[in-house]
Structure 1
Amino acid sequence: MFKKNQLLEYLKQYNLFTDSEINEFISLATISTIKKGDFFIKQDEICTTLSFVNFGIFRSFYYSNNDEEITYCFTFPNTLLVAYSSFITQNKSEENLQALTDSEIISISKKELENLAKSNNKWLNFLKIIAEKEYVELEKWIFNHQKSNAQKRYVDLINNYPQFVQQIPLHYIASYLGITQRHLSRIRASI
């Protein structure tokens, strides 16, 4: 049996499931490690699993029209990892999810999750809640990038994830903020 305490606590926070329902979910899940630099999913692949990050940091990025990598999201421990649009539609992913550190994830297949949802409406409700959270996060990201300057977004990042920011290469943080690495250096010097 793998380290399940973090996943157990994550699922309990929704106040939906009994311990036996959570244990059933865990019995269907698999644990895997992803080495720094390796991918959870690459563009043009189909995302067939929903995963929970036990430890590690991931970045989500896509390629611009100029083939430049644009980092738009970081995923930290105790959160879900999924190429959500691809997972829902089962179409090819537009994004890449890459490990920035050695990582460990717990995954359940879309098929197993759908079977759980068919047999127990609590899992269907869980999937609805996850979809709503993904939408809210996307909206928050859009508003944050349109309303806040890069310095405020950087300060928010270091305030919300101080133990992880030092592990992210600066060029990925600069890309996430939509600025050059030189501009990021000036921001860091001014704080």
Structure 2
Amino acid sequence: MEKFIEYILQFGNLNKQQIDLIKSKATEIELHTDDFYWEAGKTVKQIGFLTDGVLRVSYYNNKGEEITRYFIDENHLILSGNTIDELYTPSEYLSAITDCKLVVFSKKDWKEISETIIGWDTILQKIVAKYHSEKITRRSELISQDGTERYLDFIQKFPTLINRVPLSYIASYLGITQSSLSRIRKNIR
């Protein structure tokens, strides 16, 4: 819980009463490796913040192959939908790669926090803007790079993930085969 509060305070100020309200609405949960935080086709009813572990967003392409879209590591907010009132039914899966700990809020409680704390929406806008900027930068670079450059870039941007994520997921994220990734890793050692 403290990790979540510390994270939020990087984007705005909250007083003790506001922090106590947030804490009173939160629940801490654990996911084990391969557990789903959400599944494609099932409505998401909560907002989460990952305090420990790594999650993977994946989907199946038209050939039935599982594709890794991206990874979520510690200190990331997991929003669902564009607005709090929107029923969000994802077309992707969000699953635990490692054992994970999350702070979660029901959409109802999240909305109450938003309606009660002046400036909450501004804090969230700053967080969302940061995430979108990071995501766009990550994806646009992947398009213009070859496999080796993508892998080296991945190591640079996600140094803590390289030993925590199975190589098959990294290869999928990079858009290359696992055997290509093995060759790339062998050649850069």
TM-score norm. by structure 1 comes to 0.89
Following superposition of structure 1 onto structure 2, how do residues 27-176 of structure 1 map, counting pairs within 5 Å?
27-84=24-81, 89-176=86-173
Single out whichever of 92-101 and 125-134 deviates more from structure 2: 125-134
Percent identity over paired residues: 31
- Separation in 2 of the partners of 1:20 and 1:79? 24
- Retained in 2: the 8 A contact 1:47–1:82? no
1:53–1:78 Cα contact (<8 Å) kept: yes
Distance 2:21 2:10 in 1: 17
Give the direction of change, closer, same or farther, for the CA distance of 1:187–1:83 in structure 2 (3 Å limit).
farther
> Are the structure 2 counterparts of residues 168 and 84 from structure 1 closer, same or farther at C-alpha, using a change threshold of 3 Å?
farther
Change over 3 Å in CA distance of 1:85–1:182 after alignment to 2: farther
Please list the CA deviations of residues 133-159 of structure 1 after superposition, one character each: whole Å capped at 9, or x if unmatched: 343233223312222233222222222
Q: CA deviation at 1:86?
A: 8.9
Paired amino acid for 1:163: T
1:176 aligns to what SS in structure 2? Answer: helix
Cα separation, 2, equivalents of 1:183 and 1:132: 34
**Correspondence 1:11 to 2:28:** no
CA distance in 1, matches of 2:91, 2:82: 9
Contact 1:47 1:87 in 2 (8 A): no
1:64-121 per-residue CA deviation (whole Å, 9 max, x = no partner) reads: 0111111011011122234445977313111100100111111012221112212223
TM-score, normalised via structure 2 length: 0.89
**3-state secondary structure, aligned to 1:32:** strand
Q: Is the CA contact 2:21–2:113 (under 8 Å) kept in the aligned structure 1?
A: no
Instruction: Decide which moves more: 101-110 or 173-182.
Output: 101-110
Aligned length: 188
SS of corresponding position for 1:93: coil
CA distance in 1, matches of 2:127, 2:135: 12
Structure 1 residues 73-82 or 141-150, which shifts more? 141-150
**Secondary structure, counterpart of 1:25 in structure 2:** helix
With over 3 angstroms needed to count, the CA separation of the structure-2 counterparts of 1:16 and 1:8, relative to structure 1, is same
Change (3 A) 1:43 1:13: same
Runs (4+) of structure 1 moved beyond 6 Å? none
